Amino acid sequence: MKIVHLLMPAIAALFFQSAIADPTTPLRYEVNLNDRADDQFKVTLHVSGLTDGNAVYQFASTAPGTYQVMDIGRYVRSFKAFDAKGREVKTEQISTNQWKLDKPAQVRTVQYSIAETWDTPVNEHKPYNMCGTSIEQDHVLINGQGVFGYPTGMQGTPLEVKLNYPADWAVGTALDKNEKGNFVAANYDRIVDSPILLGRLTKASTTVAGAQVDVYTYSKTDKIKSDQLLNNMQAMLTAAGKFLKQLPVKRYTFLYHFEDQDWGAWEHSYSSEYVIREEEFSKKLADNMTSIAAHEFFHVVTPLNIHSEIIQQFNFVTPTPSEHLWLYEGVTEWASDAMQLRDKLIDLPTYLNEQTQKIVYDKSLDTTYSLSKLGLTCYTDEGQRQYGNIYARGALVAGLLDIRLLELSNGTRGLREVINELATEYGPNKAFPEKEFFDIFTKKTYPEIADFFNRYVKAAEPLPFKDYYGKLGISYLPAIATGEKIPTLGMKASFNGSKFVLSKVPEPLQKVGIQENDEWVAFNGIAVNMDNVAKIQADIKQLKGGDPYKITVRRNGQDSTVEATMQEKANVKQFVFEVDPQATPQQVQLREVWMRNL
């Protein structure tokens, strides 16, 4: 399974062209990274001319593309303001993420320390690590919303950031510098949209379709280098250039962090950032990184160039969902596979198997939960339990939409072409109306697409794989019995955003003391968490029917460990796609069109 965002990922940020701030930048931040002993960022903000409209200093409640509550104010450890003579101006914390300045007109500096998110325990809503912050002796990871805030009314104000760090460190970011060597951004949204990785990094660069592409890598024990990753993804980047016709950015930055944790990736307008467990470099690892990067890189289209008004200026105070999460993440995930198929980086069986895996994931969740509902509830605990499906059902629906568009246009215009048209029409600085996008898309295409959206995006009708793929001469069967037996734990485990929960517990496991909705705490003594889940999955695959194992569950705050044995079940191949050897010439012709860029 691909790691995108939370091991499937993650998200995206705001989408504006960079701008060089002038020497009188209204907001000037300075961050001391030479002092890293207590895992806290020491931040000084230099300001002048604040008014009563700027009296509240705001930390982010969330960030674009994470679709989770963050409440960064929880990490603030000290907060003070001073006037021009260094005298303290009274401040008061008035909410989780807000500090009020008593006399804002007198304030010339705001000083605060804020803890890193990686190593700071919180009771709930821990930010995904690829969206968080980390301070170590040989490197630092900054995601803007985890370090910087802003005075109310100044979200759109140009800003400047001076970072003080060891002289031998390298810095990777998509941000530009001014003549003083400080990083600049057109507004607060842009600084959140631009992660910064500093430290003992390697760097590699190339040019793709006229755009400069830089890769920066931190590898804990130097097992992985930037040039190794870039060499492997070169063909994917070339395929992306062909898929998009031209890249809508002049510079793009990949930031890789290889250490002890395996979380996934977070996309941004001009960069993407990856938090992956370090291992020896191999072709398998490089291919996995390229597969993830294919998804993240496509976000230069959605939502950089196609986004709703809700995203145009993000609401950092109150999380505001968009119904069109299916567009930002589902279409992007579809495109990451389609562009590789069309440039022959993967073959048709591999592509179809990817669809099978997405159906498996979709079926493991609530299949009545529509993509529209998922978008609108993504900040809630309920929506977070379904969130991973935006990469599964979201991509499956995008793939079906592509087939339907090709059918209606007699093979002349698919989803790729419509997306490129929309990107040209809107672009980074023009948003579409949130409530009107389905109508906009339908008017640009065909009346029948309104029915498609009503059934498969707004509602959650069973997806018509047999009918739609049949148009391409590809058969679809929900199940094929093999007559073989395979080992299984006999139950399902789902990650709900903070823990793994067991369901569909069979009678043999109920007898040894496991119940529905138990929290899965450990397997054979290994803690079950996002850091260890890949190893646990590998260990389980090595077991055979009848082999013993120990499982620890938590119920009502109490842990218990029981012994169980591997079950066996009939090996039934599910959700099988196969090319139909009896396909008609018309079906073959549409399939050939479907497999190339028009």
Q: What is the pTM of this model?
A: 0.80
Q: Which residue has the tokens 């198997």?
A: 353
For residues 555 and 545, the answer to whether their CB atoms sit within 8 Å is no
Q: What single string gives the DSSP state of each residue in 18-44? A: --PPPTT-SEEEEEE-S--TTSEEEEE
Name the residue type at position 233. Answer: M
CA distance linking residue 55 with residue 98, whole number of Å = 10
298 touches 339 (CB < 8 A):
yes
- Please provide the average confidence, as pLDDT, over all residues in the chain: 91
CA distance 108 to 122: 32
Provide the residue type at 199 as one letter: G
Q: Which two tokens stand for residue 82?
A: 């001073």
Q: How many helices (H) and strands (E) does the chain have?
A: 17, 29
Q: What are phi and psi of 372, to 5 degrees?
A: -60, -45
The answer to whether residue 63 scores a pLDDT higher than 60 is yes
Amino acid at 243: F
The first and second tokens of residue 121, run together, are: 């325990």
Per-residue model confidence as pLDDT tens digits over 239-298 = 988 898 877 788 999 999 999 988 999 989 899 999 999 999 999 999 999 999 999 888
Among 511, 512, 509, which Cα is nearest to 493's? 509
- Three-state secondary structure readout of 174-197: CCEECCCCCEEECCHHHHHCCCEE
Cα–Cα distance list, 159 to 23, 104, 273, 520 (Å): 10, 18, 22, 46
Distances in whole angstroms, Cα of residue 497 to Cα of each of 69, 196, 381: 11, 25, 8
Q: Is the pLDDT reported for residue 9 higher than 70?
A: no
Token pair in block for residue 216 = 């920066």
Burial class (CB in 10 A: 0-12, 13-18, 19+), 87: exposed
Q: What is the pLDDT of residue 571?
A: 84
Q: Is the pLDDT of residue 526 over 80?
A: yes
Predicted local distance difference test score (pLDDT) of residue 6? 35
Burial of 355 (0-12, 13-18, 19+ CB in 10 A): buried
Give the helix/strand (H/E) hosting 563. Answer: strand 558-565
Which alpha helices (DSSP H) does 175-266 contain, by range? 188-192, 226-244
DSSP bridge pairs for 140? 135, 198
Residues 416-461 have pLDDT tens digits of: 999 999 999 998 889 999 999 999 999 999 999 999 999 999 999 9
pLDDT attached to residue 314: 86
Provide the pLDDT for residue 25.
59
Residue whose structure tokens are 């802003």: 150
Query: How far from the centroid of its chain's Cα atoms is residue 433's Cα?
Result: 23
Packing angle of the helix pair 283-298, 226-244 (nearest 10 deg): 40
DSSP secondary structure string for all residues of 385-413 = HHGGGGTTHHHHHHHHHHHHHHHHTTSS-
Helix (H) or strand (E) holding 420: helix 415-425
Q: pLDDT tens digits for 269-283?
A: 899 999 999 999 999
> What is the model's pLDDT at position 411?
96
DSSP state of 491: S
Query: Above 60 in pLDDT, residue 362?
Result: yes
Query: Distance between CA atoms of 567 and 547, rounded to whole angstroms?
Result: 9
Give the DSSP letter of residue 61. Answer: S
Cα Rg of the chain, angstroms? 25
pLDDT for 386-412, tens place per residue? Answer: 999 999 999 999 999 999 999 999 999
Provide mean pLDDT across the span 135-160: 97
Mean pLDDT of 489-511: 85
Q: Is 88 helix (H, G, I), strand (E, B) or coil?
A: strand
Sheet holding 134-135, edge to edge: 134-135, 139-142, 196-199, 170-172
In 3D, which of 41, 14, 8, 4 has the Cα closest to residue 195?
14
Tens digit of each residue's pLDDT (9 = 90 or more) over 170-199: 999 999 999 999 999 999 999 999 999 999
- How does strand 271-277 pair with strand 474-488? unpaired
Look at residue 340 and give its three-state secondary structure.
helix
pLDDT value for 359: 96
| C-alpha distance from residue 366 to each of 350, 361, 369, 454, 462 (Å) | 26, 10, 6, 18, 12
Q: Give phi and psi for 316, each to the nearest 5.
A: -85, -10
Band of the pLDDT at 497, cuts 50, 70, 90?
A: low
Q: What's the rounded Cα separation, in Å, for the pair 193 and 313? A: 12
Q: What is the pLDDT of residues 299-322, one digit of tens each?
A: 888 887 899 998 877 889 998 999
Burial 159-181 (b: 16+ CB within 10 A, else e): bbbebebeeeebbbbbbbeeeee
Task: Report the C-alpha gap between 341 and 346 in whole angstroms.
Answer: 5
Give the number of other Cβ atoms within 10 Å of residue 502's Cβ: 20
